[in-house]
Amino acid sequence: MSKETFVFIAGLLLVIAPFLGIPETWKRFFIIGLGIVLVFVGYGLRRSVYLARLDKGNGERGNDSFVETTAPLFDDRTVQ
């Protein structure tokens, strides 16, 4: 089962949980546990989308950041 399918089914279970007729204590643990699992799965989905956005297509990851170098950086007199 894919992560997207799991999030969909878990959401449906959270919507119908109040109407299932299970004891209140079990329902509370079920909803809390499912919420914690959804947080971790949601984080994994967001991370995979972020990493896919950084992928250059050849196995490398990068973005558009750069460092501007200046002449004193390469001057031998500044290095002790």
The one-letter amino acid code at 71 reads: A
23-69 tens-digit pLDDT: 999 989 998 999 999 999 999 999 888 887 777 777 666 666 666 66
CB atoms closer than 10 angstroms to residue 41:
15
Name the residue ranges covered by the structural domains of the chain: 3-54
Find out whether 76 and 41 touch, Cβ atoms under 8 Å. no
Find out whether 45 and 2 touch, Cβ atoms under 8 Å. no
* pLDDT attached to residue 71: 63
Q: How far apart are CA 13 and CA 30, in angstroms?
A: 10
pTM of the model: 0.62
